[in-house]
Structure 1
């Protein structure tokens, strides 16, 4: 019997999840490793010549080798059907709706945690664990589990975890949250994990290995390119200034690839899927202060009963900015930033912070006109 219980560790075959598994074993947990096959090249295309990511045979073998070396059980499970239904379909639907999706958050919220917990229950595991750089604590006053930023600001992954439900956080362990990435690589070497210690981090969308989502959409939706090509590029006043390749192939804030010669730089400022119209304009037309978010998951509190200050992040690499947040309904937040933000994008996640704690988040639904600056 282990000192701390039995834990199911999601292992991608990379350095982070490998070290997470061995760390937990060193701490006295009974570790069971699991690698989830979420997709394959046959279905997604975009072969790059070298298979990289968490679903390749090489990665699965690397995860299994770690388990064998450190004497714990390892399973491989096929969740391609679950992953496709939730993540890939929604990824496609969001672009077709004129929004820019974040598949990693969808995966964490609807697939990774739910799928892990189902397998954990089947295997008699008390907890699940991942190699994410985030921390977790229980607030004794409220009884809620509070997600916190990872200690390493360069690797903090709390933004991608805002959608994980309280019941799932209650059974989650983040072994790497208090470490910095260079320490993890040194630990990997110390643990004898030489096959993964120097593995590069993967940043592409896992099911789009060539990082070309436009190619992926064309492959996924037969005839899409022909159906949407030729729509108008317009200025804010409606003046037509050119023709585009189709609204799903553009994102808010995009400058390159527009092929417009207007004598000054222009950016995509609005996408209208109903009319296949893309509005472009100068950089200042990307600046907005107000948004609404839906599809909420509140973490630190069960509800935001009054307007409160926070720091809001509007994309993964965003440093965050001061704002006031007000819950306007059971599933809607209104956010006013103290200063205008660039390229707030429907479909991306808004994540709200109170110091190191994640208040919660939601999907950016609408972006308002530039609002009056409010005191934060």
Structure 2
């Protein structure tokens, strides 16, 4: 047993997780590699010419080969049932409710970390590690584990990790948080990881390798396309301007694929699943300034007792903006931005930062346009 402890490393077969495993071994940790099979390629539909993504046989073989070469054990575990029961079902149900889900955050929060920690306990591992570009540390004054942005702001993945509770952060290691992506590719070459050093990053949803979520929903929900087709596109005043293919196949802010000739560019501004109606309008109609988040997780502080300024992001790769945040109830956050933001979308996450530290986050449930002048001025303090 290494003096640094035993760590279970999630290995997808990509360059980031491969470098994570080898780097920790080089640093003196007792490494155990694990690859989690989250979905069955043969039932995912879409492209059929080649398996892609973290659950492909090629990726699993790459992870195993690296572990064997560098002298640490590697396991493959099947978590398709627990993954499907939560992530895929909620992903589907969110679209059917007219919202736009983020499956990676769902997976990290509810499935991946819990699954890793269970296997870590079985294998006597004190820690788990992943290839995320983020940082975690213990704050002695607060006696809390803090999550922070990765050094490489272009690759920072703290947005996808806001839901991790304290007990999970306490056992998590993110070795790549102190490096840039070019550093990691160079490190892979230096470690002799030729199989993965130049492997491109994957941006697909792991269970939708063709990136066609509409096709996935149609395949998964019998009769969905027929049931929801022919709904109305309407303007804000209710004027019908066309028919659509079904509300689950559109997202807030979408412009392409609407096939509407209205003399100006229009965007999806509202989705009503009860009436199968989609409201469209100009870009200005997408501007919102307030939101309500639920299913919250506070990281830096156990509770936000007073209104406070923060930096709020409303989607992955969002640059963010100054805002005022306060906790209205145990599981309700209110956020008021200094200026209106484009396409705040129910179903996505709002993640709040204090400098580089994640203050907390939650799932966006409601959006609004109005904010009083006092709150807007307070939010402007960090804008």
Cα separation, 1, equivalents of 2:290 and 2:154: 27
Partner of 2:146: 146
Shift of residue 372 of structure 1? 4.2
Partner of 2:107: 107
- 1:221-236 alignment, distance < 5 Å: 221-236=221-236
Cα separation, 2, equivalents of 1:367 and 1:278: 16
Shift of residue 371 of structure 1? 2.9
Q: Deviations over 1:244-297 (max 9, x none)?
A: 110000000001111111111110000000111111101000001011000101
Partner of 2:371: 371
Contact 2:41 2:55 in 1 (8 A): no
Q: Deviations over 1:4-49 (max 9, x none)?
A: 0000000000000000001110111100000000002222211252
Partner of 1:263: 263
SS class of match (2:185): helix
Cα separation, 1, equivalents of 2:315 and 2:266: 21
SS class of match (1:214): helix
SS class of match (1:55): coil
Q: Deviations over 1:178-221 (max 9, x none)?
A: 00001101111111110000000000111100000000000000
What TM-score, normalized to structure 1? 0.99
The answer as to 2:327 corresponding to 1:339 is no
Partner of 2:188: 188
Shift of residue 3 of structure 1? 1.7
The answer as to 2:16 corresponding to 1:43 is no
Shift of residue 75 of structure 1? 0.2
Number of residue-to-residue matches in the alignment: 376
Q: Deviations over 1:162-183 (max 9, x none)?
A: 0111100000000110000011
Cα separation, 1, equivalents of 2:240 and 2:187: 58
Q: Deviations over 1:305-336 (max 9, x none)?
A: 10000000000010010000011000001100
Cα separation, 2, equivalents of 1:51 and 1:149: 32
- 1:1-376 alignment, distance < 5 Å: 1-373=1-373, 374-375=376-377, 376=379
Cα separation, 2, equivalents of 1:371 and 1:283: 20
What TM-score, normalized to structure 2? 0.97
Shift of residue 62 of structure 1? 0.2
Cα separation, 1, equivalents of 2:317 and 2:168: 25
**Where in structure 2 are there 5+ consecutive unaligned residues?**
none
SS class of match (2:131): coil
Cα separation, 2, equivalents of 1:160 and 1:279: 29
Contact 1:22 1:70 in 2 (8 A): yes
Shift of residue 51 of structure 1? 1.6
Cα separation, 2, equivalents of 1:108 and 1:235: 38
